[in-house]
Amino acid sequence: MIIAKFGGTSVEDAGAMKNVQKIVAGLRDRQPVVVSSACSGVTNTLIGLARMALVDCAKSLWIVEELRARHQGILNDLFPGEPAACETVGVQIDAMMDELRDLARSISILGELTDRSLDTFASFGEKLSTLILSALFRKEGMEVVLVNAQEVVITSDDFTRAVPLFEEIAPRARRLIGEKASAGYVVVTQGFLGATREGVATTIGRGGSDYSAAILGSVLDAEEIQIWTDVDGMMTSDPSRIPSARLIPEMTFREAAELAYFGAKVLHPSTIIPAVQKNIPVRILNSRRPHVKGTVILGSPKLHTDAPVKSIANKRGITLVTITSTRMLMMHGFLARVFEIFARYERSVDVIATSEVSISLTLDSEDGLDEILGELRKVADVEVERDKAIFCVVGENLRRSKGTLTAIFGALERNDIPVSMISLGASEINVTFVVNGSDAEKTAQLLHSTFFSP
């Protein structure tokens, strides 16, 4: 059994969905379980329409009509001249749109939008795309079962970032998905969505369909998890910013995890965890160019390479917080105190560097920051710098190779790019540092040309 996850651009319109159908047809003898995202941009639109309902109900209802037109349009393009085939799915799309209108009206009347309601709005995107996709598969003669992910992926009630409960998911996935796939059906289900034990809609975090694929792959003991997207695979840098970025044929779970965590959004960072636990290869492939071999992510490498650097990722819009103890001594108690405050506000930090009296750390959003700063200032002097960028240079051979650090920081120095913070040693395979946001573009170009010059 294999899991084939298709991202938003891979199901953005009728043409893209036809490509998906052909790809899945080619996977028939491997018992494919298809996990799909919403059509590209739809999750953002749904969240936007929910927020709009609070301020302008008429406008939000208008957005619902745009969504209706887009999905009905895809359906009509897929079934030209087949009104009967179109009709049953069209009726279901209409019913979902009417439900969305009701939801928007109730938000407008109540004047309140909770994370719980947001998840209900967001859940429509994947339900719509999978409804259309499964109809297309059927039309092409496949025996399809459309499984509602909300009956399988049981999660905590941390709305918008719900935590999957594997022990609940495993038996459901085996019964509702595994058995069907083994019996020869093509299973189609939604990424990103889950539900609490009580059946309330949840989502597992933005970009979470990759994670859904990995969760299902893990509980179903899949032989491979395929992530079909709009680029050829994991590249040496984000190809939308560095056009000369090259495809990486193979990388380790550790390398992929560091890259995903530090900004390579081609893979959701949590995806790697279930894959590692069961040692299931993850393959990144391009749904527009399915003949390209893509990137395979494995526990241990099969190909030999001496190159010190595999890839470079960066994350922008970072806040750097420097905390200096006002009571110079007792660093041990100070560290505990500081991290207890971050833990209490459920905030994780990305990069940390410490000295005898101070700690520098980075945050990728300012959620809860005011409250945290209030608490920290009771025990320390705190300095906050905004609009920073984290760079993460990754490679299994990084530490063994000579001169890599000199190459990185020498290039930055020669180009007058100041470095605010360096983290080295926490993981053997990466070097992480922080620069000003205004230097991010230049740094990205510079590092890429330093390690991957044509």
Minimum CB–partner distance for residue 261 and ligand ASP (Å): 16
Instruction: Tell whether residue 249 is a contact of ligand ADP (CB under 6 A).
Output: no
Is the Cα torsion angle 230, 234, 235, 240 positive or negative in sign?
A: positive
Scanning the structure block, which residue is given the tokens 């945290």? 372
Between the alpha carbon of residue 309 and those of residues 50, 312, 342, 348, 401, the distances in Å are 43, 8, 33, 27, 9
What is the spatial distance between Cα 437 and Cα 182, in angstroms, rounded to a whole number? 50
Instruction: Tell whether residue 269 is a contact of ligand ADP (CB under 6 A).
Output: no
What is the spatial distance between Cα 216 and Cα 230, in angstroms, rounded to a whole number? 22
CA 107 from chain centre, in angstroms, equals 28
Nearest CB to ligand ADP, comparing residues 194 and 207: 207
Among 33, 235, 353, 393, binds ligand ADP (CB under 6 A): 235
Sheet holding 224-229, edge to edge: 144-147, 186-190, 32-36, 2-6, 224-229, 282-286, 295-298, 250-252
Instruction: Tell whether residue 266 is a contact of ligand ADP (CB under 6 A).
Output: yes
Q: Which residues pair with residue 392 across a beta bridge? A: 313, 432
What is the spatial distance between Cα 300 and Cα 383, in angstroms, rounded to a whole number? 42
Instruction: Tell whether residue 208 is a contact of ligand ASP (CB under 6 A).
Output: yes
Nearest CB to Mg ion, comparing residues 96 and 231: 231
Positions in 296-355 near ligand ADP (CB under 6 A): 311
Among 1, 2, 4, 8, binds ligand ASP (CB under 6 A): 8
CA 339 from chain centre, in angstroms, equals 26
Minimum CB–partner distance for residue 199 and ligand ADP (Å): 27
Instruction: Please work out the total of residues on this chain that contact ligand ASP, with binding judged by CB under 6 A.
Output: 12
What is the spatial distance between Cα 352 and Cα 390, in angstroms, rounded to a whole number? 12
Among 30, 138, 139, 206, binds ligand ASP (CB under 6 A): 206
Among 192, 342, 391, 433, binds ligand ASP (CB under 6 A): 192
User: What residue type is assigned to position 4 of the chain?
Assistant: A
Measured CA angle at 76 (ends 74, 77), to 5 deg:
65
Q: Which does 234 bind (CB under 5 to 8 A by kind): Mg ion, ligand ADP, ligand ASP, none?
A: ligand ADP
Nearest CB to ligand ASP, comparing residues 7 and 90: 7
Minimum CB–partner distance for residue 156 and Mg ion (Å): 22
Length of the chain: 454
Nearest CB to ligand ASP, comparing residues 227 and 393: 227
Instruction: Tell whether residue 265 is a contact of ligand ASP (CB under 6 A).
Output: no
What is the spatial distance between Cα 104 and Cα 185, in angstroms, rounded to a whole number? 37
H helix intervals, 283-368: 331-344
Q: Which does 188 bind (CB under 5 to 8 A by kind): Mg ion, ligand ADP, ligand ASP, none?
A: none
Instruction: Tell whether residue 287 is a contact of ligand ASP (CB under 6 A).
Output: no
Pick from 134, 119, 126: which is nearest to 202 by CA?
119
Q: Which does 231 bind (CB under 5 to 8 A by kind): ligand ADP, ligand ASP, Mg ion, none?
A: ligand ADP
Among 2, 4, 7, 178, binds ligand ADP (CB under 6 A): 7
Q: Which does 43 bind (CB under 5 to 8 A by kind): Mg ion, ligand ASP, ligand ADP, none?
A: ligand ASP
Among 90, 125, 178, 207, binds ligand ADP (CB under 6 A): 207
Scanning the structure block, which residue is given the tokens 């990759």? 210
Cβ atoms within 10 Å of 137's Cβ, excluding its own: 21
Instruction: Tell whether residue 239 is a contact of ligand ADP (CB under 6 A).
Output: yes
What is the spatial distance between Cα 128 and Cα 193, in angstroms, rounded to a whole number? 12
Contact 444, 389 (CB under 8 A): no
Instruction: Tell whether residue 35 is a contact of ligand ADP (CB under 6 A).
Output: no
Instruction: Tell whether residue 234 is a contact of ligand ADP (CB under 6 A).
Output: yes
Give the three-state DSSP class for 149. helix
Positions in 116-175 near ligand ASP (CB under 6 A): 125
Binding mask 360-379 for ligand ADP (x = CB under 6 A): --------------------
Give the three-state DSSP class for 199. coil
The residue ranges that bind ligand ADP (CB under 6 A) are 7-10, 37, 207, 229-231, 234-235, 237-240, 264-266, 311
Where on the chain is the footprint of ligand ASP (CB under 6 A)?
7-8, 37-38, 43, 125, 191-192, 206-209
